[in-house]
Amino acid sequence: MAQMNESEFHRRNTGVIPEQQNIEFKQSCHDEYLKWDCGFANAIGGMISIGIINKGNVTHLADYAKLMEDIPNKIRNAMGIICDVQLEDKQGKKYISIKVNPYSVAVS
């Protein structure tokens, strides 16, 4: 049987991929996180999960419905890019994942 690395072991046991260079967890939503979106767009892309703490535990976003409306608009209005924003559910706890694709032109 092949050995699992720490990242694969964590994903299989929690259902969440651990933080990496292009994966960030944030407990709550703040406008300053737009910098992460910009950085991911200018690099290789990435994913931000809001409502998850650094250990990969889902904390639940009580205001997820409002955030699902606000986040895509803020990203588009601030940087002119479109990101894939999804509402996720893990054992009844809601969190939001934002997938940022790499852009071929500089995003600021």
Q: How many domains does the chain have?
A: 1
Provide the CATH number for the domain around residue 87. 3.30.950.30
Q: For residue 10, what pLDDT is reported?
A: 43
In this structure, is residue 6 part of a structural domain?
no
- Quick count: other Cβ atoms within 10 Å of Cβ 64? 18
9-29 pLDDT, tens digit per residue, is 445 545 566 667 788 889 999
Domain encompassing residue 87: 20-100
In this structure, is residue 53 part of a structural domain?
yes
In this structure, is residue 31 part of a structural domain?
yes
The structure's pTM equals: 0.80
40-83 pLDDT, tens digit per residue, is 999 999 999 999 987 778 998 999 999 999 999 999 999 999 99
In this structure, is residue 105 part of a structural domain?
no
In this structure, is residue 2 part of a structural domain?
no
**φ, ψ at 34 (rounded to 5°):** -60, -25
What is the end-to-end Cα distance of the chain in Å, rounded? 46
Q: Cβ(4)–Cβ(12) under 8 Å?
A: yes
